[in-house]
Structure 1
Amino acid sequence: MNLKQFFVNVGDTKPSFWTLHVLGWAFYVLIFTIEYAAFNPYTAKTGYLILLPLICSGLVGGVLTWPLRSIYGYFSKGAPLIVIATIIVMCILIAAIWTPIKNLLLMYFFDHVTLYDLYLGNQPEDFHYGELFLTVTYSFFMIMVWSCLYFGINYHFKLLREKQLHLEAARLSHVAQIKMLRYQINPHFLFNTLNAISTLVLRGDKSTANSMLARLATFLRFSLDNDPEQKIRLYEELKALMLYLDIEKIRFADRLNVKFDVQLEAERLLVPGLLLQPLVENSIKYAIAQMEADGVIEIRAQVLNNLLHLAVADNGPNTDSIPTSTAPLPKESQRGGVGLKNVVERLRVLYADNYQFSIRQGENGGCVVRIVLPVELPA
């Protein structure tokens, strides 16, 4: 984890109530110690000994505000007016209790006058009992600040939590969509392969049937074991494609010829798993299967201008049914089957608008499907 990620995680983690509570009142003691010791001419002569009554005052303030956590928690789900009224009433009540205690502590520190002395009538000549409630409004606003911070901090982390839940829900939806698209295996491929295996068994060609069945199992295992969210190197994608093509070559024999034109630089780049297989399957279904001989599928991959260019081309017939582009694929296009729509949707989910997809007639007939992706290197 890098330093930036550490601070992001720390910022998203709500501190405990007691940590913030103690730090808040410690800050109160620190600030007023500096003020009384450095800037107040009446108390400056005491120096930082003023820290002692301020610590006691901060402890009393901390004890008095501690129950507010439960009180605010109980009323926070009520109507806004009830919440505001509760805050004001509690701030007045605590200020009325805290202020005389705080003033008595200061009187004892400066004049050595205790509450017992006041009870006996041994107060200073110019003393008036109303002095015990001096700065009560100041205390009221101090407690109000505490209350606002309590609600503000809780609301902040509540919003963060809701945002995280929203992002997690969006991520899970994203993953589910990718998995749905990734695991959408064309039943025609399975049916044709199993039918071909059955035919081989009936003919007594068990060796070829076993070989075809083993390749099918390996291909299906590859398609199901890989994480749909994780991209793989193009080299591994081509290995999986070869498994699929080995199966189809058994079915079509000399009718299917495959050519690869792949740059070495392109092989190490990352692509979505099983991206090319639906494109090749589309060519086999609409081109090779319609031809009696000399069917050719060419797979190309190269890096140009920091972009990965992929292409699957065939020399099949029925070029009139091929659209000039697919964004989106026309419904009436025979070449715009489920496989191509699946590829387009997966690219949209994984790359948003940062990709290109097109399907066109080849210069010498047939169909050419092109995909342009941003260059991604393995970590």
Structure 2
Amino acid sequence: MAVIELSTQPFFSNKNKAFWYLHSLGWAGAVILRSASALANGQPLGFLIPLILSAVTGYSITLLLSVIYRAVIEKRPLITWGVTTISVFIGAAIFAYIDVWVLQILRPIAEEKAFVQLLLGALYVDGILIGAWTALYYAINFFVRAEEQQDEMIRLEAQATSAQLTMLRYQLNPHFLFNTLNSISTLVLLKQTVQANAMLSRLSSFLRYTLINQAEAKVTLAQEIETLKLYLDIEKMRFEERLRPSFEIEPLCTQALLPSLLLQPLVENAIKYAVTPKEEGAEISIKAVKLGGRLRIIVSDSGPGMTDHHEMKISSTGLGMANIRERLLQAYGENQRFEYYSGAGGGFEVLVELPYEEKKIEMQQNNIFANNEVSLEDISSIGGMDIMGEGTKA
């Protein structure tokens, strides 16, 4: 069975072709209307000859006018409209004179007074035709230019949004690198080369992920959790048993889409304010559920909660929470929810709620850990984490 592909290309994508279509159809329509009117008024069929010749004349004159209009349309308004007005009068006068001259050849008129009357009548009719054609020419051109400017504005806004998302996402990398390289340096100074090498290997896998995925791209929650586990693996080498993560992810949520590296700053914030200050460390919980058409993610910890110092850092214009809030606004506008608060029994909790978007086409996902010493099984075994919702803790 043959499939007919319908073109979705905009009509004015080729302005030259669109002009010829509209120009030809317009004058053909004028001939049809004038012919129908003449026949309805009892004119003989021979009257169609001067009408057709008149249409050919108008077609040719307006072609010349289009060249003039194209040359002045981008000039100052005074020049544009001054030249246009003069051109309309001259074009209408030539059009009318040729019409009457043709009519006189076909039907000779002896009286000069009758010739002048015919000329004035033709000037009125032809002036209306030329004026209407001119008005349509400018109206269509201004419409096309307005559409082009709007498309350009949308394109520039998209580029600005993409650039801002890229900037926000890449702010995370130097911040994370500083902490990780500092830890590696400490391990080297302590001559713990095995641990230092393992951390470098995990760091390379994490950075490979940030390079593979575009900064403004969205990834599945499963991919985000895998990367988050890799990050926690690196941090667990620093904090050991003091860092106790757990995951409770509904299976329905694994293919939900969200901005890449959205959760890493939340976990990093929990490590900084919950795990680091306490000698016994803290628990960090990541939960994800689907609520109707929404994806809700909650990152909580068992730390001291929202202290004054903690709140000041969160509300600052630096990284962390401010970064995430801005990324969510850029990606979803007001159709998102981002809240943080202290729990009833202490601790700190961050809630992120997004429109539920799912990957429509199943594609073979890139394995960001390929050709690396770290396997997904090794990463999944950190602290007994289970992506399918077991929620066991280290």
TM norm structure 1: 0.84
**1:274 equivalent in alignment to 2:261:** yes
Q: Which residue of 1 aligns with 2:171?
A: 184
Q: CA RMSD in A?
A: 2.8
The 1:216/1:33 distance shift into structure 2, 3 A limit, reads: same
Look up the SS of the partner of 1:343 in the other structure.
Answer: helix
Q: Which residue of 1 aligns with 2:287?
A: 300
Q: Distance in 2 between matches of 1:78 and 1:309?
A: 56
The 1:332/1:257 distance shift into structure 2, 3 A limit, reads: closer
Look up the SS of the partner of 1:298 in the other structure.
Answer: strand
Q: Which residue of 2 aligns with 1:366?
A: 347
Q: Which residue of 1 aligns with 2:28?
A: 26
Q: Which residue of 1 aligns with 2:41?
A: 40
Q: Distance in 2 between matches of 1:310 and 1:31?
A: 66
Q: Distance in 2 between matches of 1:124 and 1:337?
A: 92
**1:61 equivalent in alignment to 2:62:** no
Amino acid at match of 1:314: D
**Cα distance, 1:72 vs structure 2:** 2.4
Look up the SS of the partner of 1:63 in the other structure.
Answer: helix
Farther-moved stretch of structure 1 (97-106 vs 76-85): 76-85
Q: How does 1:342-353 map to 2 (within 5 A)?
A: 342-353=323-334
The 1:304/1:273 distance shift into structure 2, 3 A limit, reads: same
Q: Contact between 1:233 and 1:271, CA under 8 Å: does it hold in 2?
A: yes
Q: Which residue of 2 aligns with 1:265?
A: 252
**Cα distance, 1:128 vs structure 2:** 3.6
Q: Distance in 2 between matches of 1:11 and 1:75?
A: 21
Q: Distance in 1 between matches of 2:279 and 2:7?
A: 60
Q: Contact between 1:257 and 1:297, CA under 8 Å: does it hold in 2?
A: yes
**Cα distance, 1:320 vs structure 2:** 3.2
Amino acid at match of 1:377: E
Q: Which residue of 1 aligns with 2:162?
A: 175
Q: Distance in 2 between matches of 1:268 and 1:64?
A: 63
The runs of at least 4 aligned residues of structure 1 exceeding 4 Å deviation read 123-127, 332-337
Amino acid at match of 1:338: L
Q: Which residue of 1 aligns with 2:116?
A: 130
The 1:63/1:233 distance shift into structure 2, 3 A limit, reads: same
Amino acid at match of 1:22: S
Q: Contact between 1:282 and 1:339, CA under 8 Å: does it hold in 2?
A: yes
**Cα distance, 1:184 vs structure 2:** 0.7
Q: When the two structures are aligned, how many residues end up with a matched partner?
A: 354
Amino acid at match of 1:347: L
Q: Which residue of 1 aligns with 2:375?
A: none
Q: Contact between 1:310 and 1:372, CA under 8 Å: does it hold in 2?
A: yes
Q: Which residue of 2 aligns with 1:326?
A: none
Amino acid at match of 1:33: S
Q: Distance in 2 between matches of 1:70 and 1:248?
A: 70
**Cα distance, 1:13 vs structure 2:** 5.9
Look up the SS of the partner of 2:172 in the other structure.
Answer: coil
**Cα distance, 1:142 vs structure 2:** 1.0
- Which one has more relative contact order, counting CA pairs under 8 Å at least 6 apart? 2
**Cα distance, 1:342 vs structure 2:** 0.5
1:103 to 96, 100, 115: 100
Look up the SS of the partner of 1:369 in the other structure.
Answer: strand
Look up the SS of the partner of 1:370 in the other structure.
Answer: strand
**1:208 equivalent in alignment to 2:189:** no
**1:341 equivalent in alignment to 2:343:** no
Q: Where does the alignment leave 5 or more consecutive residues of structure 1 unmatched?
A: 114-122, 324-329
Q: Distance in 2 between matches of 1:336 and 1:288?
A: 23
Q: Which residue of 2 aligns with 1:94?
A: 91
Q: Contact between 1:321 and 1:333, CA under 8 Å: does it hold in 2?
A: no
Look up the SS of the partner of 1:357 in the other structure.
Answer: strand
The 1:352/1:4 distance shift into structure 2, 3 A limit, reads: farther
Q: Where does the alignment leave 5 or more consecutive residues of structure 2 unmatched?
A: 361-394
Q: Distance in 1 between matches of 2:309 and 2:287?
A: 20
Q: Distance in 2 between matches of 1:345 and 1:310?
A: 17
Q: Which residue of 1 aligns with 2:270?
A: 283
**1:195 equivalent in alignment to 2:196:** no
Amino acid at match of 1:105: V
Q: Spell out, residue by residue over 1:309-347, the C-alpha distance to the aligned partner (whole angstroms, 9 max, x if none).
A: 111111113643388xxxxxx546589962111011111
